[in-house]
Amino acid sequence: MICWMFPGQPIAFADPLSDDPEFLEIALLCRDTTGFNPLENVASPSDLSESVRLQLFGVCSSLHRFKQLTNLGSGPDLIAEHSMGIYPALAASGSIDAATALELAWRIGGCLAQMGNRHQYALGCVIGLPGGTLETVTANNGVHIANHNTSRHFLLAGEREKVAAALVEATDAGAFSANIFCCDAPLHTPLIAGITAQLQRIVAEYRFREPQIPLVEHIDQTNLTAAAIPAFLVDELCRPVQWETTYRTLRSRGATRFQEVGAGSALAKFNRWIDSET
């Protein structure tokens, strides 16, 4: 059984595939839909933050890979998504089209970016500590675990000074890697609750079809339905990504081949880590 996995926002821009006509088509669709052209990042609209541009680049990369696999006649039995990978995952499932996936990522990303005008937020990647120890660290510093990627790989989110302090404590507690990254908003934490009304208004403008391929969401590992998608698109921004649990659920449902449909190979690496502990 084949599972397509759609990763979230990449941490950096990859070299654009300017000589690939299929990527060019998606890049132009992105430009026409959002004003951002992933082939001309430097010349992109100045009102888009780097995080939003990265999110759109990630969606474009996933849509491109999805199209490549489809052209090869390769199709999945299951679809899984991680964080902002939900938008191209919805497109791959047949629930929305590519333009809507890009527009949703752009509009929701822009709404999240407004939080950065009021506070300075950051993400912290912690590798090497068990979840229980890290929960104590986050509670001590007033930040949140945003991604439970494996039993020893986590992403924290919160105000930058607090995240920095949490990383110091995590290192003292034995983490062998602790890195901080800038971000617009504390994704996948309760801190997003302050803008849920705005997010709900955005999502309410769209209509979603029933996914034609089972799409397993990353919170409770249920199959998303058309009726459940609008609430999930808001709820998932307020709650942590449970990738380890999601991957184990996909395995238990019979998935044996996993293809990462997007930029990088982060999810494949997480999967290998999880398998090594089984």
- pLDDT, residue 264, reads 85
Give the C-alpha separation, 48 to 31, whole Å. Answer: 12
What homologous superfamily is domain 119-183 in, according to CATH? Malonyl-CoA ACP transacylase, ACP-binding (3.30.70.250)
Lowest mean pLDDT among 16-20, 171-175, 266-270: 16-20
Enter the CATH code of domain 2-115+190-276. 3.40.366.10
Helix (H, G, I), strand (E, B) or coil at 144: strand
Residue type, 142: G
pLDDT at res. 214: 97
pLDDT at 45: 62
What type of residue is 73?
A: G
Q: What is the pTM of this model?
A: 0.94
Mean pLDDT of 22-30: 93
* Cα-to-chain-centroid distance, residue 16: 20
Is residue 112 over pLDDT 80?
Answer: yes
In the chain, CATH 3.40.366.10 covers: 2-115+190-276
- Count Cα neighbours of 147 within 13 Å in the Cβ-side half-sphere: 24
Residues contacting 188, CB < 8 A, separation 6+: 83, 144, 146, 147, 155, 157, 236, 237, 238, 239, 240, 241
CA distances (Å), origin 187, targets 121, 182, 254, 261: 10, 12, 30, 22
pLDDT mean across residues, the chain: 93
Instruction: Compute the C-alpha angle 47/156/248, nearest 5°.
Output: 110
**Rg of the chain's alpha carbons, rounded to an integer?**
18
List every span in the chain annotated with CATH 3.30.70.250.
119-183
Q: Please choose, from the candidates 123, 139, 130, the residue with its C-alpha nearest in 3D space to the C-alpha of residue 173.
A: 130
Q: Residue 242 gets which letter from DSSP?
A: E
Q: What is the pLDDT of residues 49-103, one digit of tens each?
A: 889 999 999 999 999 999 999 988 878 999 999 999 999 999 999 999 999 999 9
Q: How confident is the model at residue 15 (pLDDT cuts 50, 70, 90)?
A: low
pLDDT (0 to 100) of residue 165: 98
Please state which of the ranges 116-130, 195-209, 234-248 shows the lowest mean pLDDT.
116-130
> What's the rounded Cα separation, in Å, for the pair 219 and 245?
9
Task: Classify 75 as helix, strand or coil.
Answer: coil
3-state class (DSSP) for residue 269: helix
- H or E stretch covering 86: helix 86-93
pLDDT band at 269 (very low <50, low <70, confident <90, very high): very high
What is the percentage of the chain residues whose pLDDT exceeds 90? Answer: 85
Q: Beginning with the edge strand found earlier in the chain, give each strand of the sheet holding 2-6 in spatial order.
A: 215-216, 78-81, 2-6, 257-260
Q: Rounded to whole angstroms, how far apart are CA atoms 154 and 127?
A: 6
pLDDT of residue 69: 92
